[in-house]
């Protein structure tokens, strides 16, 4: 089975180039000197380039997934001309809302992989609607569940994923890792040892990644219309993700460490307000200076761009 997704718990060595795709932009982050690799551990220099995407770049597929049209290929070609580098492989980051997350329990999943995949495809098929599209699917055990092991799974419509990858393949670039923004950012050290959670809300969705005992235990992405609504969903996700805590333990969403971003987002600020009202420590805000100390970004204004942080997270797997 082809594994198209590679979030923080499915990482592998990465090429030194990353692209971030949104509905409005295609962003490139790579070494400032295109002839050299830029390891994150060496206070590296990066450059950020981007091209705006016209409003008609994406069309809704039968299941609502964004299908990329010819405009994406044109934007990529113009961006590649600007990089001046020969890129043979790259990572690609897409918005959290373009991929569906599912958490289920399974008994001895490694020994019954085919059965687990069949159940996941059936459950995801219901989430995508009828008729269910062909799916790109990936899953990973995430510790003990109520029955057997907990499984975290990701899926996206094959037609949509292929449309995102096609311009890169046409340009001779192999997409070595495809992941969502929240999982990409989590690779930059946002996850704390022990119990903690990360909140990433860069668009109209908020993603919560919950860690317990240093292991990713739960993940959920939800769309929201106002920040307070998103915070309530974050709290529910944390409570479920750390459900193995003693019944008399303090609320996990208060005592667990928290990372939030991008800095200044309404949801991140609402999480800060909730934590302050509960007497909890302020969230660790995800900024370049905190995540990649000493890094130099050109242009300087791109240093706090959420797409830059997501791209650097995608690059982090190469260290």
38: pLDDT strictly greater than 80: no
Confidence (pLDDT) at 10: 45
Confidence (pLDDT) at 318: 47
Beta-carbon contacts of 264 under 8 Å, excluding residues fewer than 6 positions away, are: none
Q: What is the pLDDT of residues 87-124, one digit of tens each?
A: 999 999 999 999 999 999 888 888 888 899 999 999 99
60: pLDDT strictly greater than 90: yes
Q: What is the pLDDT of residues 149-199, one digit of tens each?
A: 899 999 999 999 999 999 999 999 999 889 999 999 988 865 555 689 999
CA-closest candidate to residue 166, choices 315, 10, 14, 21: 21
What is the average per-residue pLDDT within 49-63? Answer: 95
Contact 205, 223 (CB under 8 A): yes
What is the average per-residue pLDDT within 60-79? Answer: 95
CA atoms of 44 and 117, how far apart (whole Å): 40
Regarding beta strands 257-261 and 196-200, do their DSSP bridges make them parallel or antiparallel, or are they unpaired? parallel
76: enclosing H helix or E strand: helix 70-83
What is the average per-residue pLDDT within 126-152? Answer: 87
**DSSP helix/strand/coil, 198:** strand
State pTM to two decimals.
Answer: 0.90
What is the average per-residue pLDDT within 239-244? Answer: 86
CA atoms of 263 and 221, how far apart (whole Å): 18
244: pLDDT strictly greater than 50: yes
43: pLDDT strictly greater than 90: no
Helix axes 227-241, 266-277, angle to 10 degrees: 60
């Amino acid at each position: 089975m082809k594994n198209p997704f590679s979030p923080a718990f499915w990482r592998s060595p990465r090429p030194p180039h990353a692209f971030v795709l949104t509905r409005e932009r295609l962003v490139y982050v790579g070494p400032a000197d295109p002839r050299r690799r830029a390891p994150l551990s060496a206070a590296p220099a990066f450059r950020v380039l981007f091209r705006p995407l016209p409003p008609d770049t994406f069309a809704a597929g039968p299941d609502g997934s964004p299908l990329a049209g010819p405009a994406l290929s044109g934007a990529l070609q113009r961006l590649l001309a600007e990089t001046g580098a020969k890129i043979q492989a790259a990572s690609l980051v897409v918005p959290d809302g373009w991929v569906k997350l599912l958490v289920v329990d399974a008994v001895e999943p490694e020994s019954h992989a085919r059965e687990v995949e069949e159940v996941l495809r059936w459950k995801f098929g219901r989430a995508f609607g009828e008729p269910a599209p062909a799916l790109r699917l990936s899953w990973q055990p995430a510790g003990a569940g109520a029955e057997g092991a907990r499984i975290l799974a990701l899926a996206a419509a094959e037609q949509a994923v292929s449309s995102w990858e096609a311009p890169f393949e046409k340009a001779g670039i192999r997409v070595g890792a495809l992941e969502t923004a929240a999982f990409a950012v989590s690779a930059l050290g946002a996850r704390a040892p022990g119990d903690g959670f990360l909140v990433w809300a860069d668009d109209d969705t908020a993603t919560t990644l919950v860690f317990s005992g240093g292991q990713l235990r739960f993940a959920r992405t939800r769309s929201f219309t106002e920040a307070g609504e998103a915070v309530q969903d974050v709290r529910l996700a944390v409570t479920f993700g750390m459900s193995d805590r003693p019944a008399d333990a303090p609320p996990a969403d208060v005592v667990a460490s928290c990372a939030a971003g991008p800095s200044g987002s309404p949801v991140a600020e609402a999480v800060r307000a909730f934590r302050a009202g509960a007497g909890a420590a302020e969230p660790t805000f995800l900024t370049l200076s905190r995540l990649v100390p000493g890094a130099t970004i050109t242009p300087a204004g791109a240093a706090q761009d959420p797409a830059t942080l997501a791209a650097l997270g995608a690059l982090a797997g190469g260290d």
